[in-house]
């Protein structure tokens, strides 16, 4: 009998509890796996279809183990399914029933109304939106951001182009340095610094993009959001709320720090706009996104968002995440895209002379300082644009895309006549489509000027343009609204780097890091660079400008390189 002070019984009880706890872990895991496998199988039985499964083996917990294997790499599994030429079931670590369609059915997929196939339900789960940063109404926010991104970032890119170039110049020179001797720099960290500062310059203006406290907080917020979306969005639904709650603790801390800096800025813009609207004397508009977006938000005809400074600030944080982060779902990323582009350029066969060819094109486009502010100069970068698009084709961040959830109670009939139950996710095998030799000659080979040749045949394909055979930016009404902004920024970046820096080629392209459906560049890749020697230095408004005397042969670039 236990008596106060009798530590023997107390210690005995605690030890037994600890042993039971350790012994109970595998029991709980087994029960968990059995339940998931049973539920997965039950859901599939509701499908009145004869669609094939891929990646399934004859083993215990076959669906669960097939789903777990997708953590390592799902690309081969999806490629095997796509090769069958029909729709197929594919296992997924989220234990969500998924059907991927053949390329021929993509156009029909993207034209279905939200009442039949919902993209918002997928965003809530796959992007973990309902588990992370859940203090705003995300459906309304996404609609608002889609609207103002197109009106303020894309349509008015020419207003911010000069600022973008200035920040690219400063951030590249800070990270790559003015050292004219060969030295090492971390490629991904360089791309991240440039993306953070340049994106912040376009979004929030000069002050915040140079504010180290803001940059640190937005960097940590983006990192946590990115990891949260990738991890929480791909784990089994039973544990998703718990992991999401853990990620939200530090996430809220960094968000609070960002809000303390951002809310006063938004409030000042709202007050200025209200005053100018009242007096009828609207002054010259600032070029940054916040100024433009506040005007859109305050328009009487656009009431998709509150005019409260705190709410607007939170929505702008989500936009900043989409524009700046390494693993986003709202606007795309220039961190991994920029890193992938340079890795592809530096590892392409020497005979193509890609780096020098892109430099020659940049020389022609930017013959004076004024050209960096001219949108027409960017439109002449056909080869740089083609190189970006080819990297997007060969290195998509996701193996599958265009995911939508079946909404009707009685399920949905696929174009081939098969019926799938409510709750099924339907999408397209992005990577497999990009590697289809019906659409791309020698698809497994990186060909930087592939799309430039198409352009020379009067069939221009801009890096931001989508189609049912080019799905990196999604397609149709759900296509990434910030893709034009992202590609234009990257064109400026590549042009500036090639003009001002030499980079040593690499013998072999480093493998990307794979986690389930996602693929990223390694954070530990270093490249050797050196600043190009300047012929002339002069000052404009106190800013030192470097000019060089280039000797560029008067040749047809297409004829000489393609």
Annotated binding site for heme: 480
Residues 6 or more apart in contact with residue 300 via CB below 8 angstroms:
none
Phi, psi of 519 (to 5 degrees): -140, 130
| Strands, sheet with 501-503, edge to edge from the N-terminal-most edge strand | 183-186, 526-531, 501-503
Give the C-alpha separation, 562 to 551, whole Å. 21
Note the helical H segments in 179-308: 187-204, 206-209, 212-232, 240-279, 289-298
Q: Which residues pair with 184 in a beta bridge?
A: 528
**DSSP character at residue 482:** T
Beta partners for residue 528, in sequence order: 184
**413 vs 400: CA distance, rounded Å:** 21
List, in order, residues 6 or more apart from 415 with CB less than 8 Å away. Answer: 101, 105, 108
**Which residues are bridge partners to 420 per DSSP?**
412
Cα–Cα dist 70/235, whole Å? 11
Q: What is the 3-state secondary structure (H, E, C) of 389-447?
A: HHHHHHCCCECCEEEEEECCCCCEECCCCCEECCCCEEEECHHHHHCCCCCCCCCCCCC
With CA atoms as reference, report the closest residue to 341 among 169, 127, 492: 492
Residue closest to 327 by CA, chosen among 400, 240, 223: 223
Is beta strand 518-520 parallel, antiparallel or unpaired with respect to 513-515? antiparallel
Which of 78, 128, 133 shows the shortest CA–CA distance to 235?
A: 128
| Cβ burial 117-156 (10 Å sphere, 16+ → b, else e) | bbbebbbbbbbbbbbbbeebebeebbebbbbbbebbbbee
3-state secondary structure of 539: strand
With CA atoms as reference, report the closest residue to 286 among 165, 167, 152, 195: 152
Q: What is the DSSP string of 79-99?
A: HHHHTTTS-EEE--TT---EE
* Rounded Cα–Cα distance for residues 461 and 171 (Å): 30
Which residues are annotated as part of the binding site?
480
Rounded to an integer, what distance in angstroms lies between the CA atom of residue 400 and that of residue 171? 34
50 within 8 A of 78, measured Cβ to Cβ: no
| Residue 496 contacts residue 529 (beta carbons within 8 Å) | no
User: How far, in Å, CA of 82 to CA of 89, rounded?
Assistant: 10
């Amino acid at each position: 009998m236990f008596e106060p002070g009798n530590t023997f019984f107390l210690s005995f009880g605690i030890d037994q509890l600890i042993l039971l706890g350790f012994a109970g872990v595998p029991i709980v895991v087994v029960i968990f796996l059995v339940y998931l496998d049973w539920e997965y199988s039950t859901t599939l039985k509701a499908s009145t279809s004869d669609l094939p499964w891929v990646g399934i083996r004859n083993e215990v917990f076959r669906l669960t183990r097939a789903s777990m294997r997708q953590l390592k790499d799902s690309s081969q599994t999806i490629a095997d399914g796509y090769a069958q030429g029909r729709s197929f079931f594919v296992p997924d670590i989220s234990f969500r029933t998924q059907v991927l369609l053949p390329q021929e059915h993509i156009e029909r997929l993207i034209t279905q109304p939200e009442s039949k196939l919902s993209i918002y339900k997928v965003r809530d789960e796959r992007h973990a939106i309902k588990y992370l940063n859940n203090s705003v109404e995300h459906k309304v926010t996404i609609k608002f951001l889609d609207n103002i991104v197109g009106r303020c970032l894309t349509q008015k890119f020419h207003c911010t182009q000069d600022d973008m170039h200035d920040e690219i110049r400063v951030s590249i020179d800070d990270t790559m340095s003015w050292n004219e001797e060969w030295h090492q720099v971390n490629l991904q960290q360089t791309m991240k610094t440039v993306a953070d500062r340049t994106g912040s310059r376009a979004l929030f203006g000069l002050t915040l993009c140079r504010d180290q406290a803001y940059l640190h907080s937005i960097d940590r917020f983006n990192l946590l959001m990115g990891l949260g979306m990738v991890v929480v969005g791909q784990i089994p639904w039973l544990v998703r709320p718990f992991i999401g709650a853990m990620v939200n603790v530090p996430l809220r801390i960094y968000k609070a720090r960002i809000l303390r800096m951002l809310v006063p800025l938004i409030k000042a813009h709202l007050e200025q706009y209200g005053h100018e609207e009242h007096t009828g004397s609207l002054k010259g508009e600032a070029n940054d996104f916040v100024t433009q977006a506040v005007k859109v938000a305050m328009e009487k005809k656009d009431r998709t968002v509150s005019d409260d400074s705190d709410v607007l600030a939170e929505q702008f944080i989500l936009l900043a995440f989409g524009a700046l982060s390494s693993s986003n779902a709202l606007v795309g990323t220039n961190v991994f895209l920029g890193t992938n582009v340079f890795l592809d350029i530096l590892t392409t066969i020497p005979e193509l002379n890609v780096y020098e060819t892109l430099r020659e094109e940049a020389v022609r486009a930017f013959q004076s300082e004024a050209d960096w502010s001219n949108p027409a100069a960017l439109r002449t970068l056909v080869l740089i644009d083609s190189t970006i698009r080819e990297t997007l084709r060969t290195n998509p961040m996701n193996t599958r895309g265009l995911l939508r959830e079946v909404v009707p109670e009685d399920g949905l009939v696929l174009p081939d006549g098969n019926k799938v139950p409510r709750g099924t996710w339907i999408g397209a095998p992005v990577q497999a489509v990009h590697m289809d030799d019906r659409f791309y000659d020698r698809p497994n080979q990186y060909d930087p000027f592939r799309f430039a040749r198409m352009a020379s045949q009067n069939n221009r394909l801009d890096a931001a343009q989508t189609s049912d055979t080019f799905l990196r930016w999604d397609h149709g009404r759900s296509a990434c609204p910030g893709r034009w902004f992202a590609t234009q920024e990257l064109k400026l970046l590549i042009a500036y780097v090639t003009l001002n820096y030499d980079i040593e080629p690499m013998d072999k392209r480093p493998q990307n890091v794979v986690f389930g459906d996602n693929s990223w560049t390694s954070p530990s890749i270093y490249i050797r660079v050196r600043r190009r020697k300047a012929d002339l230095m002069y000052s404009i408004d106190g800013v030192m400008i470097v000019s060089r005397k280039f000797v560029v042969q008067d040749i047809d670039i297409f004829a000489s390189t393609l």
